[in-house]
Amino acid sequence: MKKLGYFLLYGSLSIVAIIQVFPIVWLFLFSLKDNREIFAGNPFALPQAIKWENYYSVWEAGIGNYFFNSVWITTISIFFTLLFASMAVFVITRMHWRLNKLVLGLFMIGLMIPIHSSLIPLFSMFLDAGIIDNPWAIVLTYTAYNLPITMMILLGFYYTIPKEIEEAAIIDGASLHRLFFTIILPLTIPVLSTTAIINMIYNWNEFVFANTFISSDRYKTLTVGIQNFVGQYMTDWGAIGATLVISVLPILIAFFFFSNKIVEGISSSAVKG
């Protein structure tokens, strides 16, 4: 019975894994076909003639620039989000002041604000500030929208850090800034890795803000740049497939190398009784 249970368990997990991986494999095969083969043949068949030129053509058409924009916008947004969230959580959880619970509540309200409800106010504010069609408009938006969820994940971990560590550092003459940057912040690396990956997924795949605030081709991200291959009379579906593969690849690599960090960070942020 025990062997049968293991067989059923691993058999079920294998089926789920195949179902999860199949769309990625199908997308890769889709990117190696031309329009004629995509619409005339079996959509699940292997490509008759491999079209590696789809990848070359999209790179020549500017996908490299969109890819670079996505990389640096995502990286800077993650950096600011983790830094500001860590500072805010440190002040709220490790220091005693009258309004800390109220401030925490105000940050958590951000979880309940739908993206589309803030689109017009943000556009008006950035227009007045003169940063429409500027990548910093996206960086500021991503940072602000990711702060609540990042702080919520960090809170549980900060509550588990022994106060004796801080007391020993203060006795040794450490200032508040040195205490945070050299002692507390390094201790939170496991949970910061988790929040970094969560932020990366959101920033990398976000479309609404990037499409609204950016109009110049040189500042577009991958999610917006895909639209360039959709024409009024003709759409190059093979090129779109190649672009989607390129856009998915960094997320897959991040999960492949840091999946253990995600589990470790989530488990370490649980509040211990």
* DSSP character string of 116-143: GGGHHHHHHHHHHHT-TTSHHHHHHHHH
How far is Cα 52 from Cα 32, in angstroms, rounded to an integer? 6
pTM of the model: 0.83
How far is Cα 265 from Cα 273, in angstroms, rounded to an integer? 18
How far is Cα 157 from Cα 264, in angstroms, rounded to an integer? 11
Q: Are 17 and 202 in contact (CB under 8 A)?
A: no
| Domains assigned to the chain | 62-268 (1.10.3720.10)
How far is Cα 170 from Cα 262, in angstroms, rounded to an integer? 32
> Tens of pLDDT along the chain (273 residues)?
778 888 888 899 999 989 988 988 888 988 888 888 877 767 778 888 888 888 888 887 778 889 999 999 999 999 999 999 999 999 998 888 888 888 888 888 888 888 778 889 999 999 999 999 999 999 999 999 999 999 998 988 888 888 888 888 888 888 888 889 988 898 888 888 889 988 998 999 898 999 999 988 889 898 888 877 665 445 778 888 888 888 888 888 877 777 666 666 555 555 444
